[in-house]
Homo-oligomer: A and B are copies of this chain.
Amino acid sequence: MLDSCSPLPTNALLRTAYNAVSARIFAGVKAGNAFDDLRPAHGNAMEQLELEDGLRLTEMAARAGITVQSMGELVDDLEAKGYLERRPDPKDRRAKRIHLTKRGRKNARIAKQATADVEDHLAELLGQQRYQQLRHCLQQIIASDARDDEPDAAG
C-alpha cells in the first residue's frame, strides 16, 4: 500500500533495511536463547564486554558514543537481570570493573552467532559480490560524512 506510490528516498531505504536486519538479529538471539528480558539497546554493552571483559562504565560509554549515565542505566538493567556484575577495581577505588557473568557470556556468544548468521543470510540473498559492494558503499557514505564533520580527525 505504501511503496507503490513513489520511489522512496535512499534515506528511507536505509532506515527500513536497518530495522529489518536488526529485527532479524534480535529474533535470532531470542530463538537461540529465550532471553526476552533483553532489548536491542543492551546489545551494545554486551558486545563490548565480550570483546574485552572488565571494562569501566566510562570506557564503555565512550566506545558506544553515549553518556556515562545512559550506559549506567543499561548496566544497571543488565546487572539486575544477572547478565553482568560490577566489581570494585582493586587499583582504583573510584572505579568499578564490569564483568560478564556466566549467563552473560552465554548470551553474548549467542548474539554474536545470530549476527554472523544474518550476515550469511545477506550474503546469500544478494550474492557475495553484491553483499561486499553494499558494505563498501555504506562505508563510503559513512566516511564521506565523517570527513565533512571533522576535517582533521587524524586517526
Q: Give the contact stretch, choosing among A70-78, A93-101, A134-142.
A: A134-142
Contact B125 A141 (CB under 8 A): yes
- Grouping DSSP codes into helix (H, G, I), strand (E, B) and loop, the A interface class, with mixed when no group exceeds half, is helix
Distance (whole angstroms) from the CB of A136 to the closest CB of chain B:
8
Smallest Cβ-Cβ distance to A115: which chain B residue: B9
Question: Which of B63, B118, B141 makes the CB contact (< 8 A) with A17?
Answer: B141
A119→B6 contact, CB < 8 A: no
Q: Are A51 and B6 in contact (CB-based, < 8 A)?
A: yes
| Residue from the list B17, B139, B155 in contact with A4, Cβ < 8 A | B155
- B155–A20 touching, CB < 8 Å: no
Which of under 10, 10 to 19, 20 to 34, or 35 or more describes the interface residues of A? 35 or more
List of B residues within 8 angstroms of A63 by Cβ: 1-2
Most chain B beta-carbon contacts within 10 A, residue among A18, A65, A119, A148: A18
Within 8 A of B (CB), among A56-94: 62-63, 65
Interchain CB contact under 8 A, A145 and B23: yes
A130 to B24, CA, bound (A): 26
Decide: A142 near B17, CB < 8 A? Known: A118-B11, A119-B9, A135-B10: yes
Whether A10 contacts B134 by the Cβ 8 Å rule is: yes
Residue of B nearest to A7 (CB): B135
- Top 3 nearest A-B pairs (CB, nearest first) are A20-B145, A14-B18, A13-B138
